[in-house]
Chain A
Amino acid sequence: MATQLKETDESGREILDSVVIRFAGDSGDGMQLTGTQFTQSTALMGNDLSTFPDFPAEIRAPVGTTYGVSAFQINFASHIIKTPGDAPDVLVAMNPAALKVHLKDLVPGGTLIINLGAFNDRNIEKAGYTENPLEDGSLESYRLIEIDISKMTLAAVDGIDVTQKEALRAKNLWTLGLMCWMYDRDRQPTIDWLNQRFGKLPHIAEANIAALNAGHAFGETAELPSEISTYVVPKAKVEPGIYRAVTGVETTCWGLLTGAQKAGLNIFFGSYPITPASPLLHSLSNLKQYGVVTFQAEDEISAVCSALGASYAGSLGITSSSGPGVALKSEALGLAVVTELPLIIVNFQRAGPSTGMPTKTEQSDLYQSVFGRNGDTPMPVIAASTASDCYDCAIEAVRLATKYMTPVMYLNEGFLANAAEPWKLPDTDDVEPFPVEFASETEGFHPYLRDEKTLGRNWAIPGTPGLEHRIGGIEKDYDSGNISYDSDNHHKMTKVRAQKILGIADDIPEQEVVSGNNSGKMAVVGWGSTFGAIEQATRRCQEDGLDVSHIHIRYIWPLARNLGDLLKGFDKILVPEMNNGQLVTLLRSEYLVPAESLAQITGQPFKVADLEREIRSRLED
């Protein structure tokens, strides 16, 4: 939130504690690029930040329509922040449709920057306005800056050898230039990026850079309304170290690579393109020099089956998808459970059921992950909560999969995949290696020989002399690994498979409280990407003297050993989730505790203020 301190620095810039800016425009307007570049500059300025890209499923929806609006929100501050911000202080609307969709979120008195060039009668009508919103007084309560950005951009690139279409496409860079002026961001990283990106098209790079500089110069020279000033957001005080801005996809990719190296295995990644999981396929495809084999399979089933085949042959098989794709993989996941082979399934959850809302985030695959297979088919499920946490969770997924010879469901979210945050770069040397030892001893060998402690079976890979064996989906005899239809044996094997997974609870950290007391009036229990919003909301309540604690669960299955006792120390348990109440059911059934659901199924992250209000109101009940 912009504070009203009105402090200024030596150059006369007003000092702000934090700002939320939302760029909104047509999906062809380059808003994601503008946001990403602004993020990069902001990261390099030393602010803490959090972003929320929000774009339509259609690649290029018809121009000027409300459903074709693409937006990028960034929250940056001189202190530690955890969410992309509830409501923007600044809204950049590149056309009437963007204004129509996003104005409702702008804080009262917020700054509204309008591209006048796009406000013609046709666009105004297409956006669903009956009157021109710039003329009907509906924007009076905002600090309105109207600029014909289209015209300004054309003027800026005059003389450069580009077509009118190419010139107009640079208007997002003009806008970025203006915002860089307003918030004192360095333009150089963007200039470097443009030169690199358009290395082979120097005239396009030149036009974009000219537009960027022109937007900046406009701010410096134009006579803007007096209440518009320039701002500075000082650096945030964060832990010393080397940082970079990352998304959850990048950290997941590096985490899997680190994990594979710690296990001493090569990655085989079988995947089928699906929103929002495809970026992981793209990232891993660029890591061939690490022996990573990526396989764009013909469908989701082949993606998981090829990964399982690769695990059978001694690679670390990984597959990724989103909810509907994971549904298609279910039968093969059952095969992975019964053949007890390591496998990692990365699920970038999105709004369901079925196709749902592919580009919108949700946490609605918890049931599917824990319960969604035929037979008694348990597997560990872990959920990442931040882009940074994606790195650790990926390594943990590899560790559990190889140590316990089991598929591991690694829950990610569309929001985490796309959102950026600063990340203190870890040192891979801090991760203890967990090298895999393939079976080689022929004496007494059978494929289902188990480690007494972990209950994981031995992993004998083709190519090993004397260990030739057959595995498959038919139930196996406990003592020989041969196929068996014996009823007592099936009972025993089912119990062993379950016990193996439950035993992981002894190998994972006990559940800790993120903030607040270890017992008390209310525990707010979350999982996944709601971490930031819950933490900020509970802290605000705590600062007000309320007895509220935040518990965030990474290990969805098996649950931490002490979780039941911990929860029983609270009078109330509130479980906010971006689904219709899934973790809450699991907690109630496992611990018989009176956990209450707080469901939000809008495809949008929780707002801190909404959570805070809900916590306060339920505390009073």
Chain B
Amino acid sequence: MNVQSPPESLKPNDYASDQEVRWCPGCGDYAIVKAVQRALSNMGADPKNTVFVSGIGCAARFPYYMATYGFHTIHGRAPAVASGVKLANPDLDVWVIGGDGDMLSIGGNHTLHVLRRNIDVQVLLFNNEIYGLTKGQYSPTSKVGTRSPSTPAGSVDSPVSACVYALGCNARFVARSVDTNLKVLPGLMQEAKENTGASFVEILQNCIVYNDGVYSSFTDKANVADGQIVCEHGKPLLFGKENEKGLRMMAGKMELEVVTIGENGVTEADILIHDETNRPLALMLAGMQPPNFPVAMGVIFRDPGPSYDAAVYEQIAEVNEKTPAIPINELMHKGKTWTVV
């Protein structure tokens, strides 16, 4: 961690601003803000060096509730603003906050580029599969057939998977979790923070007003065990109440299948071991959809590489070493000049 510890350790509440939180009662965002505050406290993050940058949407109100530096920008552009913040001062710890509309619709382009450049920021995408702030229209992650004010007969266009998109953008850290999973979320944030380069975390978030229960088939307590699979590097991809189910590669096919240990001669040895540095595997895991597959959670992909901001400053240092700055007067006199007397 390159963040200096503040003089005294701060509690999660110390990272909360004095502003009244204005999300709908029961919104998943409350849990996320708590998780982030807890993560910052666990890491001993210094509020003065921490910056939250957001776009527009419900999620984008996030910075106002943090007692750190914050910039609530314009729709879709948070990754671009954050890139400037980080490049101007690489010592800052920069977090980008946005929803599915913000980061995959109007701002999809900036999400692509902040990820592929590998700028050392954490991108938290709150995915609720709906436009909340504009009162419930379908979003680019809504399933086909989503009925909404703008699609009364159901949406007809295919959704995008946030994590698959991030992997396609060449993101080098891709993780997923659920808003209410306070056991896992703070740790995941910390891993995102500790990763050098752009870290992408999709947080499945329930919109209690416009899309309530959209994830309940795998997030309700009773459904978690069979509906989710936690990816851990080097460990078998098992799930189910007794860890009796697992994923394996279909024989002769580049395709995953769900199997049950002890059935049809399947043993634990047949189960796929998660390799977080394997991008094709990550793409398959990220793309798994219920009900036929569990939803992949945790660090789906991690393969750190040099960050853009570090490379930029290395180049500056190299040039400075080779051709140090001369006074601007001298710079302007370089080249062909002539004297008039």
With contact pairs A305-B73, A462-B49 given, residues A312 and B81 touching in the complex (Cβ less than 8 Å): yes
Partner-contacting stretch, out of A13-21, A287-295, A404-412, A592-600: A287-295
Distance, CA A298 to CA B66, complexed state (A): 29
- Kindly provide the distance from the CB of A450 to the nearest chain B CB, expressed in whole angstroms: 20
Contact of A46 among B17, B79, B92, B340 (CB under 8 A): B340
Asked if A463 lies at the interface with its beta carbon under 8 angstroms from chain B, I say yes
Instruction: Tell me the A41-73 residues at the B interface (CB within 8 Å).
Output: 43-44, 46
Asked if A530 lies at the interface with its beta carbon under 8 angstroms from chain B, I say no
Distance, CA A305 to CA B336, complexed state (A): 38
Contact B339 A241 (CB under 8 A): yes
Distance, CA A311 to CA B87, complexed state (A): 11
A–B Cβ pairs within 8 angstroms, 9 of them: A288-B316, A289-B316, A293-B316, A305-B80, A313-B85, A317-B84, A472-B63, A474-B72, A483-B64
- Kindly provide the distance from the CB of A146 to the nearest chain B CB, expressed in whole angstroms: 34
With contact pairs A305-B73, A309-B83, A468-B47 given, residues A288 and B315 touching in the complex (Cβ less than 8 Å): yes
Convert B66-99 into 0s and 1s, putting 1 for each residue whose CB lies closer than 8 angstroms to a CB of A: 1111111110010111111111110110000000
Contact B48 A465 (CB under 8 A): yes
Partner-contacting stretch, out of B109-117, B170-178, B189-197, B272-280: B109-117
Contact of A298 among B56, B112, B329 (CB under 8 A): B112
Asked if A428 lies at the interface with its beta carbon under 8 angstroms from chain B, I say yes
Contact A308 B316 (CB under 8 A): no
With contact pairs A242-B339, A243-B337, A244-B338 given, residues A293 and B80 touching in the complex (Cβ less than 8 Å): no
Which residues in B have some Cβ–Cβ distance to A below 8 Å?
A: 17, 19, 47-51, 53-54, 56, 63-64, 66-74, 77, 79-89, 91-92, 109-110, 112-113, 312, 315-316, 319-320, 323-325, 327-329, 331-333, 335-341
Distance, CA A331 to CA B323, complexed state (A): 39
Asked if A495 lies at the interface with its beta carbon under 8 angstroms from chain B, I say no
Distance, CA A482 to CA B73, complexed state (A): 15
Chain A residues positioned under 8 Å from B49 (CB to CB): 462-463
Contact A238 B69 (CB under 8 A): no
A-B contact sample (10 more), CB < 8 A, given A305-B80, A309-B82, A469-B69: A43-B338, A241-B340, A244-B337, A305-B84, A306-B84, A311-B88, A312-B71, A313-B51, A315-B88, A473-B56
Distance, CA A311 to CA B73, complexed state (A): 13
Chain A residues positioned under 8 Å from B80 (CB to CB): 297-298, 301-302, 305-306, 309
Contact A471 B71 (CB under 8 A): yes
Asked if A375 lies at the interface with its beta carbon under 8 angstroms from chain B, I say no
Closest to A422 in B: B338
Distance, CA A291 to CA B89, complexed state (A): 12
Chain A residues positioned under 8 Å from B47 (CB to CB): 468
Contact of B84 among A295, A468, A473, A482 (CB under 8 A): A295
Convert A311-333 into 0s and 1s, putting 1 for each residue whose CB lies closer than 8 angstroms to a CB of B: 11111010000000000000110
Closest to B327 in A: A428
Distance, CA A469 to CA B49, complexed state (A): 12
Asked if A470 lies at the interface with its beta carbon under 8 angstroms from chain B, I say yes
With contact pairs A44-B338, A331-B74 given, residues A313 and B89 touching in the complex (Cβ less than 8 Å): yes
Closest to B47 in A: A468
Chain B residues positioned under 8 Å from A428 (CB to CB): 327-329
- Kindly provide the distance from the CB of A344 to the nearest chain B CB, expressed in whole angstroms: 14
Chain A residues positioned under 8 Å from B86 (CB to CB): 309, 313
Judged by DSSP, the binding face of A is mixed
Distance, CA A369 to CA B86, complexed state (A): 29
Contact A464 B48 (CB under 8 A): yes
Convert A233-255 into 0s and 1s, putting 1 for each residue whose CB lies closer than 8 angstroms to a CB of B: 00100111111110000000010
Contact A471 B338 (CB under 8 A): no
Chain A residues positioned under 8 Å from B315 (CB to CB): 288
Contact A468 B328 (CB under 8 A): no
Convert A327-360 into 0s and 1s, putting 1 for each residue whose CB lies closer than 8 angstroms to a CB of B: 0000110110001000000000000000000000
Asked if A555 lies at the interface with its beta carbon under 8 angstroms from chain B, I say no
Closest to B333 in A: A425
Asked if A270 lies at the interface with its beta carbon under 8 angstroms from chain B, I say yes
Asked if A40 lies at the interface with its beta carbon under 8 angstroms from chain B, I say yes
Asked if A393 lies at the interface with its beta carbon under 8 angstroms from chain B, I say no
- Kindly provide the distance from the CB of B56 to the nearest chain A CB, expressed in whole angstroms: 8
Distance, CA A508 to CA B72, complexed state (A): 33
Contact A473 B74 (CB under 8 A): yes
With contact pairs A241-B339, A473-B74 given, residues A254 and B85 touching in the complex (Cβ less than 8 Å): no
Chain A residues positioned under 8 Å from B89 (CB to CB): 313-315, 461-463
Chain B residues positioned under 8 Å from A242 (CB to CB): 333, 337-340
Closest to A267 in B: B88
Chain B residues positioned under 8 Å from A293 (CB to CB): 87-88, 312, 316
- Kindly provide the distance from the CB of B68 to the nearest chain A CB, expressed in whole angstroms: 5
Closest to B17 in A: A470
Contact B83 A243 (CB under 8 A): no
Closest to B318 in A: A288
Asked if A448 lies at the interface with its beta carbon under 8 angstroms from chain B, I say no
Convert A507-534 into 0s and 1s, putting 1 for each residue whose CB lies closer than 8 angstroms to a CB of B: 0000000000000000000000000000
Contact A306 B81 (CB under 8 A): yes
Distance, CA A427 to CA B84, complexed state (A): 32
Contact B69 A462 (CB under 8 A): yes
For A, the interface residue count at a CB cutoff of 8 angstroms equals 70
Distance, CA A615 to CA B152, complexed state (A): 65
Chain B residues positioned under 8 Å from A305 (CB to CB): 73-74, 77, 80-81, 84, 110
Distance, CA A261 to CA B331, complexed state (A): 14
Chain B residues positioned under 8 Å from A239 (CB to CB): 340
Asked if A573 lies at the interface with its beta carbon under 8 angstroms from chain B, I say no
Contact A298 B339 (CB under 8 A): no
- Kindly provide the distance from the CB of A289 to the nearest chain B CB, expressed in whole angstroms: 4
Contact A289 B85 (CB under 8 A): no
Closest to B331 in A: A254
Smallest CB-CB A-B distances: 9 pairs: A472-B72, A309-B84, A306-B84, A470-B70, A305-B80, A302-B80, A309-B81, A310-B88, A313-B88
Closest to B322 in A: A289
Contact of B72 among A243, A254, A471 (CB under 8 A): A471
Chain A residues positioned under 8 Å from B69 (CB to CB): 462, 468-470
- Kindly provide the distance from the CB of B240 to the nearest chain A CB, expressed in whole angstroms: 43
Asked if A257 lies at the interface with its beta carbon under 8 angstroms from chain B, I say yes
Contact B328 A254 (CB under 8 A): yes
- Kindly provide the distance from the CB of B40 to the nearest chain A CB, expressed in whole angstroms: 12
Distance, CA A299 to CA B113, complexed state (A): 10
Contact A44 B113 (CB under 8 A): no
Chain B residues positioned under 8 Å from A295 (CB to CB): 83-84, 87
Chain B residues positioned under 8 Å from A109 (CB to CB): none
Distance, CA A242 to CA B84, complexed state (A): 38
Closest to A237 in B: B340
- Kindly provide the distance from the CB of A283 to the nearest chain B CB, expressed in whole angstroms: 11
Contact B53 A309 (CB under 8 A): yes
Contact A240 B341 (CB under 8 A): yes
| Residue with the greatest number of chain B CB neighbours at <10 A, chosen from A305, A335, A465, A467 | A305
Distance, CA A268 to CA B67, complexed state (A): 27
Chain A residues positioned under 8 Å from B70 (CB to CB): 469-472
Chain A residues positioned under 8 Å from B50 (CB to CB): 462
- Kindly provide the distance from the CB of B97 to the nearest chain A CB, expressed in whole angstroms: 12
Closest to A423 in B: B332
Asked if A189 lies at the interface with its beta carbon under 8 angstroms from chain B, I say yes
Contact of A473 among B72, B332, B335 (CB under 8 A): B72
Closest to A461 in B: B89
Asked if A466 lies at the interface with its beta carbon under 8 angstroms from chain B, I say yes
Closest to A471 in B: B71
Chain B residues positioned under 8 Å from A463 (CB to CB): 48-49, 89, 91-92
Closest to A292 in B: B316
Chain A residues positioned under 8 Å from B77 (CB to CB): 301-302, 305, 332
Distance, CA A465 to CA B67, complexed state (A): 12
Contact B73 A335 (CB under 8 A): yes
- Kindly provide the distance from the CB of A434 to the nearest chain B CB, expressed in whole angstroms: 15
Contact A243 B81 (CB under 8 A): no
Contact A289 B325 (CB under 8 A): yes
Chain A residues positioned under 8 Å from B112 (CB to CB): 298
Contact A473 B113 (CB under 8 A): no
- Kindly provide the distance from the CB of A305 to the nearest chain B CB, expressed in whole angstroms: 4
